[in-house]
Amino acid sequence: MMTEVRFHVRGGTALRGTAVIQGAKNAALPMIAAALLATEGRTVLRNVPAIADVARAVELARLVGATVEYHAGDRLLIIDASAVANPLLPAELTRRFRGSVLFLSPVLHRCGEVTYEGAGGCNLGTRGLDFHYRGLARLGAHIEERGSAIWIKAGQLRGSELYLDTPSHTGTESLIIAATLTPGRTVIENVALEPEVLDVIAFLNAMGARITGGGTGRVVIDGVDQLRAVEHTIMPDRIDAGVLCMAAAITGGQVTLVGGDVIDHFGVAKHKLEQMGVHLASSGAVTTATRTGPLHPINIITDTHPGFATDLQPSLMALATQASGTSYLRERIHEARYALVSELAKMGADITVDGEKAVVRGPSTLSGTEVVARDLRTGISLVLAGLVADGETVVTNGSMIERGHSDLVSRFVALGAGISREELP
Ligand SMILES: CC(=O)N[C@H]1[C@@H](OP(=O)(O)OP(=O)(O)OC[C@H]2O[C@@H](n3ccc(=O)[nH]c3=O)[C@H](O)[C@@H]2O)O[C@H](CO)[C@@H](O)[C@@H]1O
Ligand SMILES: C=C(OP(=O)(O)O)C(=O)O
């Protein structure tokens, strides 16, 4: 039976305390998929985030034939992919998360073919998959549409010159994974530079892949015959960390982050938060985010890494409603990433949208009300807004938030937030 999750948020408290940054969603998903390439032995992934997308990926790995042990308390996965043999990736699972597209390449290599009925994930516009399919075709795969599904046959894959029209995050990972076991040399131009991609490359190279050029925009992969199961600790989630920093900022508090030196992964976002009046400091293995003075307005343009991360744009919009002046946002990665605007308007925010541009006039006094988590980052941004709103904010469709943020209530309550979780039948 489907249930609805709702988060009740009561504003007015400056957050103070320590929060553990979760493992990176956008590194865990490609690693679970890539672990299917190990034909013997068991892969151990540590620092796995306890989020719904990971649960979906585990389901999909099991469905294709892997044995997966999920030790949630230890944030640990053990994957035995020796029996992977099922090439069918069904829509009822794949359309529940974007990361399902990352299973195409491993299953293609293991089964010689794969049938895929499409990806899910946040509704942010078209979110095409043509870069993935074109790259696989250039490696020699045969691709055809079969009704609502895509059927891909490996045939004789050969190393080739590939490119991405734009540096797609999962497109990069998908094609690198495909090239690791493709005979010959593959070069991919215009690849993503996101830190998670580098973590995936490190994981694949530990498995025995031969990948160079990570972080340069041009990656070279020399195909090998086999990849082995290894142990790997997933990097911290920079988006989770950025949201926690903005939780401190929007409430005028101080949050200490444990789990990795993420400031280096913030890229332009670090400078934008500091310009708004957020103080970020690293002290040994911890990062502290503090805001004591006024919040200044800001201008941001989302871009691929190290540009301002699109996944942090909604949280920054919520923060900008409290800034003393007008902020200008420009969303250049996803076609439709302003679902937050109408929900913040219900709380009293003053935001206007013109195409990819949004203008946020602050400061606004926000009032708690019932709002909808239209997607993952809209949902968490409404929680941030609720932390500073008068009264209680009820964030409905809360399962969207749990797709990408773990232990929301326990981590925020530990910081002094008034937040609780309700599950409705
Ligand atoms: C599971 C995962 O890692 N999700 C992240 C990944 O999504 P994802 O990898 O899907 O995002 P992409 O970088 O591929 O997409 C960026 C843009 O490229 C377009 N595009 C992409 C692929 C393709 O084949 N054709 C095409 O046109 C998309 O429509 C979108 O407009 O990167 C996004 C951009 O940083 C993040 O918001 C997501 O959190
Ligand atoms: C867009 C996001 O995720 P996904 O690509 O998994 O939908 C996100 O993490 O903000």
Give one DSSP letter per residue of 316-379, joined into a string: HHHHHTTSSSEEEEE--S-S---HHHHHHHHHT-EEEEETTEEEEE-----B--EEE--SHHHH
102, HSE (Cβ side, Cα atoms, 13 Å):
33
Residue entry with tokens 């075709």 = 137
Beta-carbon count within 10 A of 74 CB: 10
Structure tokens at 54: 């990971």
Cis peptide leading into residue 87 (ω within 30°): no
Q: Which ligand is nearest to the CA of 129?
A: 1
**Ligand 1 centroid from CA 172, angstroms:** 10
* DSSP code per residue over 60-103: HHHHHT-EEEEEGGGTEEEEE-TT----EE-HHHHTT-GGGGGG
Ligand 1 atom 1: residue of nearest CA:
99
Residue 30 CB partners (closer than 8 Å, separation 6+) = 99, 102, 170, 173, 177, 196, 200
Q: Could you tell me the distance, in angstroms and rounded to a whole number, from the CA of residue 29 to the centre of ligand 2?
A: 11
- Rounded CA-CA distance 353/347 in Å is 17
Phi/psi at 265 (5° precision): -95, 0
Ligand 2 neighbourhood includes 196 CB (under 6 angstroms): no
Q: What is the pLDDT of residue 72?
A: 87
Which residue's entry shows tokens 């998670």?
A: 196
The answer to whether the complex's ipTM is over 0.90 is yes
Measured at the CA of 178, the angle between CA 175 and CA 182, to 5 degrees, comes to 125
The catalytic residues are 122
Q: Whole-model pTM above 0.95?
A: yes
- Taking the centre of ligand 2 as the mean of its atom positions, its distance from the CA of residue 56, in whole angstroms, is 14
Other C-beta atoms closer than 10 Å to the C-beta of 101 total 26
pLDDT score for 112: 98
Cβ of 131 below 6 Å from ligand 1: yes
Helix 195-206 with 25-34: angle, nearest 10 deg: 30
25 is in an annotated binding site: yes
- Nearest CA residue ID for atom 1, ligand 2: 122
- In the prediction, which pLDDT does 283 show? 86
Q: Which atom of ligand 2 is nearest to the CA of 377?
A: 10
Q: Give the count of beta carbons closer than 10 Å to the beta carbon of residue 297.
A: 18
Query: Tens digit of pLDDT per residue, the chain (425 long)?
Result: 678 999 999 999 999 999 999 999 999 999 999 999 999 999 999 999 999 999 999 999 999 999 999 998 899 999 999 999 999 999 999 999 999 999 999 999 999 999 999 999 888 998 999 999 999 999 999 999 999 999 999 999 999 999 999 999 999 999 999 999 999 999 999 999 999 999 999 999 999 999 999 999 999 999 999 999 999 999 999 999 999 999 999 999 999 999 888 899 999 999 999 999 999 999 888 999 999 999 999 999 999 999 999 999 999 999 999 999 999 999 999 999 999 999 999 999 999 999 999 999 999 999 999 999 999 999 999 999 999 999 999 999 999 999 999 999 999 999 999 999 999 99
Ligand 2 pocket, mutate which of 54, 377, 381 (most atoms under 8 A from CB): 377
Sequence-distant (6+) residues with CB within 8 A of 158 are 139, 140, 182, 183, 184
Collapse the DSSP code of 390 into the 3-class scheme (helix H, G, I; strand E, B; otherwise coil) and give the result: strand
Ligand showing the shortest atom-to-Cα distance for residue 192: 1
Would you say the CB of residue 377 lies under 6 angstroms from ligand 2? Answer: yes
**What is the residue with the minimal CA distance to atom 37 of ligand 1?**
311
Which is the closest atom of ligand 2 to the Cα of 376? 10
Give the distance (Å) from ligand 1 centre to CA of residue 57.
Answer: 18
Where are the CATH 3.65.10.10 domain residues in the chain? 4-22+236-424, 25-233
Nearest ligand 1 atom, CA 239:
39
Q: Residue 109: CB within 6 Å of ligand 2?
A: no
Q: Are the C-beta atoms of residues 308 and 374 closer than 8 Å to each other?
A: no
122 Cβ inside 6 Å of ligand 2: yes
Output the CA–CA distances (angstroms, integers) from residue 72 to 66, 117, 172, 407, 412, in the order listed.
18, 29, 29, 11, 19
> Cα separation of 371 and 369, whole Å?
6
Backbone φ and ψ of 380, nearest 5°: -70, -30
- The residue nearest atom 7 of ligand 2, judged by CA position, is 121
The hierarchical CATH code for the domain 25-233 is 3.65.10.10
- Please give the number of the atom of ligand 2 that sits closest to the Cα of 98: 6
Looking at domain 4-22+236-424, what is its CATH homologous superfamily?
A: Enolpyruvate transferase domain (3.65.10.10)
Can the peptide bond before residue 49 be classed as cis, meaning omega within 30 degrees of 0? Answer: no
pLDDT at 260: 86
